[in-house]
Amino acid sequence: MAVEAITLSKELRFGDGFAVIRPRCKDQIENFRDKLLIKTNADTIDTLRRSLVTVSNSELNEIMLKLLGFTEGSGMLAETFSEQINALCGDELFLQRRANIIFNLPGANQRHQWPHYELMSGISPSTYTIWLPLHDLADEGGIFYVPDKESFDVMQQEYEQGTVNSPFMFKSVRCREAPKLKFGEALIFNPFVIHGNMEFNAPLARIAVSFRFQSRKDLLYQKNSDFLKTWTLKRGESDSR
Ligand SMILES: [Fe+2]
C-alpha cells in the first residue's frame, strides 16, 4: 500500500526504511518511458523487453551507449515524485545527474544485483533512492528489501566478522519476496536498507529505473558533481550543469 508523503519521513527513518509511493500524476513517467522507447527504436515497452531477451552483448552495449545521452530523465522523475521528495529533503536538492536504466534478463546465470546497501557506493547517509519498474511487475523480477532493523543486524554481524558484502550477507537475506509493483508505483528507500534481486523466470526482461537525491543542506561525502547536479523542485529545470 502506498505511503502518504506526510508519513514517509517517519517510515524511512524509524520504520522499515523503505516504502511504496505513488505520484499524483504519472504523465511524466509515461513521457520518460516514451523517450526511452524512441532512444531504443522500440514500439512498446513489451517489444523492448522481448528484444532484450535475445540481443547479443554487443547490441546490449550499443543500447546502453545510446542511453548515456538521456540526461533529462532524473529531473523528469524527480518532478513526478516532488511531493514525496519535498517532504523528505525540501526543494533544494542534489540530484543524480543521470538516472540508471536497469535491464534484468530472466533465467539462470543472468546478471543481477547482489544484495547490497546504497551507502556502499559512497553516497551520503542522507541520500534516498527511488526505484520504479517501467511496466507492471507480474513475475519475481522485482527487487526485495530487508527492513532496516534486520539490515542493521546483518551489517553488525558482518562488522564483527570483519567482512563487507560477504557470502554471510548473501545467505542471511536470501529468499525474499519482491513487491509486485504496478507501472506508476515506485519504491523509495534509505541508504542502509539491504536490497537486491533474485533470478526469475519469465518470457520478458525487466526494465526499471532508479535515481538518488539528497537535500542540498546535507554533506555530500564521496559523491560529487560527477554524479550529482543541483536541482530545485517545481521550477522543473536544472540550475547548474
Ligand atoms: Fe541498489
Over the stretch 153-190, which tens digit does the pLDDT of each residue have? 999 999 999 988 888 888 888 767 888 899 999 999 99
Give the Å distance between the CA of 120 and the centre of ligand 1: 9
Residue 20's alpha-carbon distances to 70, 129, 131, 161, 179, in angstroms, are 25, 12, 10, 33, 9
CATH number (domain holding residue 130)? 2.60.120.620
Domain span including residue 76:
5-231
* Domain assignment present for 240: no
Give the Å distance between the CA of 117 and the centre of ligand 1: 6
Lookup: cell for 39: 532512444
* Domain assignment present for 173: yes
Give the Å distance between the CA of 115 and the centre of ligand 1: 8
Q: How many domains does the chain have?
A: 1
* Domain assignment present for 201: yes
**CB–CB of 34/70 below 8 Å?**
no
Give the Å distance between the CA of 228 and the centre of ligand 1: 16
DSSP 213: E
Return the SS3 of 179: coil
**CB–CB of 238/161 below 8 Å?**
no
* Domain assignment present for 192: yes
Segment 9-28 shows an average pLDDT of 93
**CB–CB of 205/103 below 8 Å?**
yes
Give the Å distance between the CA of 37 and the centre of ligand 1: 24
Give the Å distance between the CA of 148 and the centre of ligand 1: 14
Considering the chain, what is the average pLDDT of its residues?
89
Give the Å distance between the CA of 143 and the centre of ligand 1: 9
pLDDT tens readout for residues 88-108? 999 999 999 999 999 988 877
* Domain assignment present for 241: no
CA distance linking residue 200 with residue 83, whole number of Å: 33
Give the Å distance between the CA of 239 and the centre of ligand 1: 27
Segment 108-112 shows an average pLDDT of 68
Give the Å distance between the CA of 165 and the centre of ligand 1: 13
Give the Å distance between the CA of 118 and the centre of ligand 1: 5
| pLDDT of 109 higher than 80 | no
